[in-house]
Amino acid sequence: MSARRTIRPVHTVAELREQVKSWRAAEERIALVPTMGALHSGHVALMEAARAHAERVVLSIFVNPTQFAPTEDLSRYPRTLEADLDKADAAGVHLAFVPDVGEMYPEGFATTISLAGPALGLETEFRPTHFAGVATVVAKLLIQAAPDVALFGEKDYQQLQVITRLARDIDLPVRIVGVPTVREPDGLALSSRNVYLGKEDRAAAPVLHRALSAATAQIAGGGNVLDAIDDARRAVIAAGFQLDYLEARHAASLAPVLSRAEGPIRLLVAARIGATRLIDNLAVPD
């Protein structure tokens, strides 16, 4: 532990609620930044944005097992708690909630959240249980921390729309805020999973952003949506990716769109290179 670290980590819901209660008594606004740890500059941007929305910032660090399928990388997911706490402290976070699995899912836990709307399609086609796990843990965190605002990165754009709809549909008194994706200089979206990329795969990875950028420019310039999507798919596959999806969707509902007349458009992609699965997205300019 850093000798100069001032952030306070807590491990139980009771401790979290006790601290939140004292802040509420002082009429301070509270922001929550939910994470699975392995923090990078994208997470730091979330924490810094949170400070602009509230007097107090809570960071949660919990590798949520219910959003991983049996074939996915739960055991390999990077865990860097001490470095994470140092980054959170430097970003001005006031409290880190670091529960274990037993605290979040005590013996006999038997509840999940049923989803539709923006949770249908895209990621669900390849990870059918993923958003049920995300929605359940996020709902728990929002209830436990009772924040005024919660911040999520736009890199996980479908997740952001699912959580926005979740909070609205079950009347949680919290505002969900999306924070723009943070990228490497070559355009690769920051992700905790980028550490899995080998040298050759890392060199190819920015093709995702380049393909999306070309497609958004093509559509914004009056090009046909389906033609732009086909061109982007070919570019991604030619770079050595195994493509899960590259789609044009309505920016809010995530319903498929065929033309700009159908509303604001978001392009979303998921693809595998080597052993690593990457996702990204871009808005089509108005």
Residue 190 annotated as part of some ligand binding site: yes
- 255-262 contacts at long range (C-beta below 8 A, 24 or more positions apart): 256/121, 257/225, 258/225, 258/226, 259/225, 260/219, 260/225, 260/284
Residue 41 annotated as part of some ligand binding site: yes
Starting at the edge strand that comes first in sequence, how are the strands of the sheet with 95-97 ordered? 8-10, 95-97, 56-61, 30-35, 149-153, 175-179
Residue 96 annotated as part of some ligand binding site: no
Residue 37 annotated as part of some ligand binding site: yes
Residue 159 annotated as part of some ligand binding site: yes
Cα separation, 200 vs 67, in Å, equals 29
Residue 15 annotated as part of some ligand binding site: no
CA 140 to each of CA 102, 157, 163, 221, 274: distance values in angstroms, whole numbers, following the listed order: 14, 20, 12, 43, 34
Active site residue 43: yes
Question: Positive or negative, the Cα torsion across 95, 168, 120, 154?
Answer: negative
CA 4 to each of CA 26, 55, 89, 90, 255: distance values in angstroms, whole numbers, following the listed order: 26, 21, 9, 10, 49
Residue 191 annotated as part of some ligand binding site: yes
Residue with tokens 């549909």: 169
Residue 156 annotated as part of some ligand binding site: yes
Residue 47 annotated as part of some ligand binding site: no
Residue 19 annotated as part of some ligand binding site: no
Residue 42 annotated as part of some ligand binding site: yes
242-250/265-273 β-pairing: antiparallel
Starting at the edge strand that comes first in sequence, how are the strands of the sheet with 276-283 ordered? 242-250, 265-273, 276-283
Residue 73 annotated as part of some ligand binding site: no
Choice among 43, 94, 130, 209 that is catalytic: 43
Residue 242 annotated as part of some ligand binding site: no
How far apart, in Å, do the first and last CA atoms of the chain sit? 48
Residue 38 annotated as part of some ligand binding site: yes
Binding residues are: 36-43, 67, 153-156, 159, 182, 190-193
Binding residues for ATP are: 36-43, 153-156, 182, 190-193
Binding residues for (R)-pantoate are: 67, 159
Binding residues for beta-alanine are: 67
Question: Catalytic residues, which ones?
Answer: 43
